[in-house]
Amino acid sequence: MATAATTAVPLAMSPASGLALRPAPSEPTRPYVVLARGRPAARALVGELRWRVRRYYTAALPGFATFLTPRELADLRADPRVRAVEPDGEIRAAPAGRPQTPSAAQAPGTGTTVYVVDSGLDSARAEFGDRAWHAFDATGGTGRDCDGHGTQVAGRVHDAAPAARIGSVRVLGCDGSGTLSDLLAGLDWIHRHSRGPSVATLSVDGDRSAALRTATRRLARSGVFVAESARSEGCRITPGGRTFSPYTPELAGAAAQLLELHPASGSSALATSLKCTAAGGVIRQNPTGAPTLHVRDGGF
């Protein structure tokens, strides 16, 4: 079991000129997520803000979570090293619908791992056996699911791919809500620790976040198939490899099935085989010759 409350901030940094030279803030501070223009820029900015930086992301995106005064916020938004600054807003569990007709199983998902980014996991559930574990807890707890949403999602993933390993990445609290910075920390952990054919399922809201879009796009490009929640019917894929469906647990399970058969397949090839609609027509139909998994009545 691996749990952590924060993502470590690099210690070997010397303060650069700028915000670190100011006196202690007399103005109130608020939490924000800063998306930098590259990792060197992020490290330099963290060095300047290090006393109030809460999380430093090393893989999911070049950026960090911090507290800022209104004056510091204005300075960062005007800094050429910064791509975007957004409030560290609330995220919530998203309801996941059930497809009218389950997908036709072609494999049980042997040799694959599905990371359930949610409210935790009741790993003692008998159906999981020894295939489910608490991988990471961004809230600083033990990974236990005190809301139930994450365990429900994991159970549906297990139904679709019963031989797949399920790693719980807890980013939501007992009321089904969490923060953007915790969600990014969970994705950062997956990016750094995933090995072999892997899937991440996110039944959470928050797609309006530029930082989250960057993190999920980078995770998909690293080779992890990312199934994200959507309100509209059907399945769609973006040019960056992000895949959206209202049935994220089943989509993740179906991706695990195909990854057992074709472990080297990329996100775009898997999405195409799963009959996802390509945004902008950039994905050719079935480019790898992988078997197509048919789902009726609206699909994923």
* Residues 95-130: tens digit of each pLDDT: 877 776 656 667 899 999 999 999 999 977 878 888
Tokens of 101: 């007709």
* Residues 8-47: tens digit of each pLDDT: 444 433 333 344 445 456 679 999 999 999 999 999 999 9
Position 225 in a domain: yes
- The whole-model pTM stands at 0.84
Residue 75 sits in the same domain as residue 158? no
Cα 158 from Cα 178, distance rounded (Å): 24
Report residue 299's pLDDT band, with 50, 70 and 90 as the boundaries: low
Position 21 in a domain: no
Position 44 in a domain: yes
What percent of the chain has a predicted confidence (pLDDT) above 90? 59
* Residues 259-268: tens digit of each pLDDT: 999 888 888 8
Phi, psi values for residue 200, rounded to 5°: -125, 130
208: Cβ contacts below 8 Å, ≥ 6 apart: none
Tokens of 219: 């995770």
Beta bridge partners of 146: none
Alpha-helix residue ranges (DSSP H) falling in 132-278:
149-160, 180-193, 210-221, 248-261, 267-273
Is residue 65 within 8 A of residue 24, CB to CB? The reply is: no
12: which DSSP letter?
Answer: S
Is residue 183 within 8 A of residue 151, CB to CB? The reply is: no
In this structure, what CATH number is given to the domain that contains residue 231? 3.40.50.200
Position 2 in a domain: no
Strands (E), 37-88: 53-57, 63-68, 82-87
Residue 71 sits in the same domain as residue 126? no
Q: If DSSP codes are grouped into helix, strand and coil, which group holds residue 142?
A: coil
Side chain identity at 231, as an amino acid letter? R
Question: How far lies 101's CA from each of 97, 152, 247, in Å?
Answer: 12, 19, 11
Residue 63 sits in the same domain as residue 112? no
* Residues 160-201: tens digit of each pLDDT: 999 999 999 999 999 999 999 999 999 999 999 999 999 999
Residue 179 sits in the same domain as residue 194? yes
Position 96 in a domain: yes
Domain endpoint, select from 88, 110, 130: 88
Count of CA atoms in the C-beta half-sphere (13 A) of 115 = 29
Residue 39 sits in the same domain as residue 57? yes
Residue 84 sits in the same domain as residue 206? no
Domain endpoint, select from 88, 105, 131: 88
Residue 174 sits in the same domain as residue 256? yes
Tokens of 28: 């109130």
In this structure, what CATH number is given to the domain that contains residue 43? 3.30.70.80
Position 134 in a domain: yes
Residue 164 sits in the same domain as residue 199? yes
List the domain range (segments joined by +) for residue 134.
Answer: 92-281
Residue 96 sits in the same domain as residue 225? yes
The total number of structural domains that make up the chain = 2
Residue 68 sits in the same domain as residue 155? no
Position 114 in a domain: yes
Position 3 in a domain: no
Residue 62 sits in the same domain as residue 138? no
Residue 114 sits in the same domain as residue 255? yes
